[in-house]
Amino acid sequence: MGRFGLIRILVCGLALTATLQAQQYVFRAFRQAEGLDNLKTNSLATDRAGFLWMGTENGVYRFIGSGFERYGAEQGIAEPYVLDVISDPNGTKIGRASCRERV
């Protein structure tokens, strides 16, 4: 391999490295308009299906891609102040709940 072959390989390698490092992260804020009634989150977990679950002072929310679904008393969650949401192999579990008390 000649000198120019080595230079070509180095230039191609640098071009690929620069392309890979140019990726940017996307940040999107979710608020009440997307169905998240409470902006303070106590706990996050993902389930086997890839859904994001959030425990808040106002129940549990599941992110469905474009917004949030609230789970509360109607779905069997007796206490609105949820401290922990835990995901295990059998499904998402709701842990410690407290009636407006901070632990």
- Sign of the alpha-carbon dihedral angle for 88, 86, 60, 48: negative
Percent helix, strand, coil in the chain, to 5, is: 25, 30, 45
Residues in the chain: 103
Domain assignments of the chain as residue spans, ordered by start: 32-98
Task: Assess contact for 85 and 53: CB atoms under 8 A.
Answer: yes
pTM (2 d.p.): 0.63
Phi, psi of 57 (to 5 degrees): -75, -5
In tens, the pLDDT along 11-68 reads 555 555 555 555 677 777 778 888 888 778 888 888 888 888 888 888 889 988 888 8
Could you give the count of Cα atoms lying within 13 Å of 100 in the half-sphere of its Cβ? 0
